[in-house]
């Protein structure tokens, strides 16, 4: 068994005349959380999109559990590697309908919707409520539950708490961490919240202008002593704002 959930091997992506990603090399070890940080527009979301074949690289390779993504059957890959976005889309219907949405697409049904809802920290009395009526934090948990129903081994999280208020943010963050602990899910988690990155990360990936310029397996050390000039500049700028506690 390969010990890496995801591996980027010399990955570049060019679109039109633009180089969105340049020679990215990095690994997400199985069962670990990698926080992917960097300035807006540095290529974080683009990098995630390579992991489940939403996009393919111009050169280089992306491996999921040791197998190049383009050799995976796409449905199987997307069951294994699931994505959660910043603004969850609720489909018309109840919370229960929303939880089973992905499984229905695969011709399956959800065996224990109440249990799943509780796994994401919501009371099962919400099952019959209209999904559109939920709060932002509740919607994000339903989106998480809908994704977890597929039993992915790897989660790609793209700024999943940035549309939430502080309270909901911490609740959703705790929910994700407890799922990580109970299921051992590997995670590549994009966040622009540096205090959050500090709390959740085993490993830091720092991107700048399409390059993965710093990979650190000691998150606290990264924040205390960033090694690359772009990371030093980025942390200094963020400290001037209030990105770091
Ligand atoms: N389809 C596309 N064609 C051209 N440029 C794109 C396309 N998609 C994204 N970009 C550009 O790629 C860069 C990286 O975008 P993105 O991955 O969304 O950054 P981040 O998530 O770090 O904010 C940005 O400059 C963005 O404008
Ligand atoms: Mg992004």
Q: Which atom of ligand 1 is nearest to the CA of 210?
A: 14
For position 104, what pLDDT does the model report? 87
Confidence check: pLDDT of 42 > 80: yes
Q: Give distance in angstroms: CA of 218 to centre of ligand 1.
A: 28
Q: For ligand 1, what atom is nearest to the CA of residue 38?
A: 22
Taking the centre of ligand 2 as the mean of its atom positions, its distance from the CA of residue 128, in whole angstroms, is: 33
Ligand 1 contacts CB of residue 46 (under 6 A):
yes
pLDDT the model gives residue 245? 44
Mean pLDDT, the chain, rounded, equals: 94
> Which residue, by CA, sits nearest to atom 3 of ligand 1?
15
Higher pLDDT, 62 or 168: 62
What percent of the chain stands above pLDDT 90? 83
Percent of the chain surpassing pLDDT 70: 97
Tell how far the Cα of 158 is from the centroid of ligand 1, in angstroms. Answer: 14
Determine the pLDDT at residue 14.
98
Tell how far the Cα of 49 is from the centroid of ligand 2, in angstroms. 10
The secondary structure of 93-109 as a DSSP string is SBHHHHHTHHHHHTT--
Q: Which domain holds residue 43?
A: 4-240
Question: Cα separation of 110 and 34, whole Å?
Answer: 30
The answer on pLDDT for 90 being more than 50 is: yes
Whether the predicted pLDDT of 243 surpasses 90: no
Q: Is residue 142 part of a domain?
A: yes
The residue-averaged pLDDT of 125-134 equals 97
Q: Tell whether 245 is covered by a domain.
A: no
| pLDDT for 106 | 81
- Please indicate whether residue 21, judged by its CB atom, sits closer than 6 Å to ligand 1: no
Which ranges of the chain does DSSP label H, i.e. alpha helix?
A: 44-49, 74-80, 95-99, 101-105, 113-119, 136-148, 166-183, 194-200, 219-224, 229-240
* pLDDT grade for 2, boundaries at 50, 70 and 90: low
**Residue 194 domain-assigned (yes or no):** yes
List, in sequence order, the alpha helices (H) in 82-163: 95-99, 101-105, 113-119, 136-148
Burial of 40-50, coded b for 16+ CB within 10 Å and e otherwise, reads: eebbbbbbbbb
| CATH number of domain containing 52 | 3.40.50.300
Higher pLDDT, residue 88 or 195: 195
pLDDT tens, 55-67? 999 999 999 999 9
Tell whether the model's pLDDT for residue 242 goes beyond 70: no
Q: Rounded to the nearest whole angstrom, what is the distance from the C-alpha of residue 233 to the centroid of ligand 1? A: 21
pLDDT of residue 105: 83
Q: Is the pTM of this model over 0.75?
A: yes
Pocket test for ligand 1, best of 12, 16, 17, 18 (most atoms within 8 A of CB): 18
Q: Are 223 and 236 in contact (CB under 8 A)?
A: no
Nearest CA owner, ligand 1 atom 7: 15
Our answer on whether the CB atom of 43 is closer than 6 Å to any ligand 1 atom is: yes
End-to-end CA distance of the chain: 39
In a domain, 192, yes or no: yes
The CA distance from 162 to 244, in Å, is 15
Which letter, b or e, does each residue of 124-136 get, where b requires 16 or more Cβ atoms within 10 Å of its Cβ?
A: eebbeeebeebeb
Closest ligand relative to 37 C-alpha: 1
Q: For residue 205, which of 156, 241, 161 has the smallest C-alpha distance?
A: 156
Q: Would you mind telling me the total number of residues written for the chain in this entry?
A: 245
Q: What is the pLDDT of residues 6-26, one digit of tens each?
A: 999 999 999 999 999 999 999
Give the number of domains in the chain. Answer: 1
């Amino acid at each position: 068994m390969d010990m890496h959930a995801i591996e980027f091997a010399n990955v570049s992506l060019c679109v039109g005349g633009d180089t969105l990603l340049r020679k990215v090399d990095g690994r997400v070890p199985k069962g670990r959380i990698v926080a992917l940080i960097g300035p807006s527009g540095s290529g974080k979301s683009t990098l995630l999109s390579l992991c489940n074949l939403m996009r393919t690289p111009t050169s280089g390779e992306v491996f999921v559990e040791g197998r190049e993504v383009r050799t995976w059957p796409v449905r199987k890959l997307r069951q294994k590697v699931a994505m959660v976005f910043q603004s969850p889309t609720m489909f018309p219907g109840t919370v229960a309908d929303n939880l089973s949405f992905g499984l229905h697409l695969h011709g399956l049904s959800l065996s224990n919707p109440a249990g799943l809802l509780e796994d994401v920290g919501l009371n099962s009395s919400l099952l019959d409520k209209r999904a559109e009526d939920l709060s932002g934090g509740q919607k994000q948990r339903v989106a998480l539950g809908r994704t977890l129903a597929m039993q992915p081994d790897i989660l790609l999280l793209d700024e999943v708490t940035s549309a939430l208020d502080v309270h909901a943010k911490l609740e959703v963050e705790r929910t994700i961490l407890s799922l990580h602990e109970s299921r051992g899910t590997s995670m590549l988690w994009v966040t622009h919240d540096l205090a959050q990155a500090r709390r959740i990360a085993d490993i830091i990936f720092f991107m700048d202008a399409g390059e993965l310029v710093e990979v650190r397996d000691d998150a606290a050390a990264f924040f205390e002593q960033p090694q690359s000039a772009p990371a030093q500049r980025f942390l200094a700028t963020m400290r001037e704002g209030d990105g770091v506690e």
